[in-house]
Structure 1
Amino acid sequence: MSRGDGARVGYAAGAFDLFHVGHLNLLRHAKARCDHLIAGVVADEVLEITKGRRPVVPLVERAEIVSHISYVDEVHHEVLLDKLDTWRELRFDVFFKGDDWRGTPKGEELERRFARVGVEVVYFPYTVHTSSTILRAALAELERPAV
């Protein structure tokens, strides 16, 4: 996409593991706030480092699912640990996050670092009742033998 066309480019990164309505809501809200939405699907190895576990669904499959969401204009395999390094590759104008990051030390640091390069950080409501963590727990419960 040409950066000279005045389009507002947004970036929404996530594991997008066990894709659920919270993921869809993030992408829907993000697309409403930009002209071109890039969805960053975080690599398995990066998730293992940052979250302490690998995803259930491998990167290539998660990216394939996300690429078919109508709100997404482009999918990026996020293989770098530092979001600012990803920005250097993609040059987006706004970075979208779930509001579970708002007011946290990590979120505040992210905001400071992005502000230095002119990127706005926008938070959207976190879907509390549905998450990949909750889905993992439900699957584990189903796999336990009956007593």
Structure 2
Amino acid sequence: MKKVITFGTFDVFHVGHINILERAAELGEYLIVGVSSDALNFSKKKRYPIYNQSDRMKIISSLKFVNEVFVEESLELKLDYIKKYNADVLVMGDDWAGRFDWVKPACEVIYLPRTPSISTTEIIEIVKMT
């Protein structure tokens, strides 16, 4: 069974999230999703997510094409997560292109294009202005 792993914050869930997760699921038979912890999100973006990590995990867990969900505590632990879950493929959005090529000895790495004209950051900015 080919296992695919991917990671993300998945805050203010939108169609772009569904698109990348569906495409990731199509690359194997079992999809594992690491949801960034609140602390990791703060360290990356200098803000906490709108939805807390347990709510974001519940949203991702509810998707029929997601088989397993866990909390991602650190970007530096990608290889550990890949090994722990015996992943064959790491999928990331193309905004991370090249950033995780260092795990290629352990698994295939695929960067998928993001959905044009949609991002959580943009959604949050628009909501703030209204």
Give TM-score scaled by structure 1 length: 0.83
Contact 1:80–1:86 at 8 Å: present in 2 too?
Answer: no
Aligned to 1:124: 112
1:58 and 2:52 correspond? yes
**In percent, how many aligned pairs have the same letter?**
34
How far apart are residue 8 of structure 1 and its match? 0.6
Match of 1:74 among 46, 68, 73: 68
Helix, strand or coil: the match of 1:100? helix
CA distance in 2, matches of 1:75, 1:95: 14
Once superposed, what is the RMSD of the aligned Cα atoms? 1.2
How many Å separate the matches in 2 of 1:124 and 1:54? 25
Shift of 1:35: 0.7
1:50: Cα distance to partner?
Answer: 1.9
Q: Which runs of 5+ in 2 are unaligned?
A: none
How far apart are 1:127 and its partner, in Å?
1.5
The correspondence of residues 88-107 of structure 1 with structure 2, limited to 5 A, is 88-102=83-97, 107=98
Q: Distance in 2 between matches of 1:137 and 1:126?
A: 19
- The structure having more radius of gyration, on CA atoms, is 1
**What is the TM-score normalised by the length of structure 2?**
0.93
Q: Which runs of 4+ in 1 moved over 4 A?
A: none
Distance 1:23 1:52 in 2: 21
How many correspondences in the alignment?
Answer: 129
1:10·1:94 contact (CA, 8 Å) conserved in 2? yes
